[in-house]
Amino acid sequence: MSSDPVKPITSKPEPRVPNRAVVWIAIGLVCLSVIWGLRPPSPQETPSKTMAVPITPDKVPLVTGEESFSDLFTQAGCAVCHVIPGIPGADGQVGPPLILGTTGPQRLKDSAYRGEARTVHDYIVESVLDPQRFVVPGYPDHTMPTWYGSKLSALALEKIAAYLEQQVGEN
């Protein structure tokens, strides 16, 4: 083929006939990429279905209400899903920021509100014990756990409501 070693000086560059090795390398690369594409997904790549609800009742201890506010919200798991002013590490984005001093009155006035609370304090208690009563618009339904009634003592619930109704901020 074009392997004539004696080339006239004036000749044009060799015609671009792909040489066999190049063809085989290309075929090899295609095969490799097909095999790569067909390999079973590794566990890290499969998105975890439990990511939206990272917290289950067995992970939450009984909360007595004797804890500090910080421990109370952290142990109950609220901090995983909510921003709570003044609580270190409470930066969850799953639910609304717990600034009920600001948002509580808005919820009670909301025409879609069908709960029984008349005060922000009671609205907080209701939201924790029966979250399906009123699902805050723009946030996922069936996500806030419904089992807090069996994890929080009456004192813990009182402290939660008393703390959250004081919190204000940008909505």
Q: Which chain residues interact with ligand HEC by CB under 6 A?
A: 53, 55, 76-78, 80-82, 94-96, 98, 100, 103, 107, 124, 127-128, 131, 135-136, 139-140, 143-145, 148, 160
CB of 80 to ligand HEC, least distance (A): 5
Q: Is 162 left (phi over 0), alpha (psi -120 to 50) or beta?
A: alpha
CB of 44 to ligand HEC, least distance (A): 23
Q: Which of 27, 131 has the CB closer to ligand HEC? A: 131
Q: Which of 85, 136 has the CB closer to ligand HEC? A: 136
Q: What is the rounded CA–CA span in Å between residue 37 and residue 63?
A: 49
CB of 96 to ligand HEC, least distance (A): 4
CB of 24 to ligand HEC, least distance (A): 55
Work out the widest C-alpha separation in the chain, in whole angstroms: 100
Q: What is the rounded CA–CA span in Å between residue 105 and residue 110?
A: 9
SS3 content of the chain, % helix, strand, coil (to 5): 45, 0, 55
In three-state secondary structure terms, 45 is: helix
Q: Which of 37, 138 has the CB closer to ligand HEC? A: 138
Contact by Cβ (8 Å): 154, 162 = no
Q: Determine the Cα angle at 52 with ends 51 and 57, to 5°.
A: 85
CB of 25 to ligand HEC, least distance (A): 52
Q: Which of 70, 135 has the CB closer to ligand HEC? A: 135
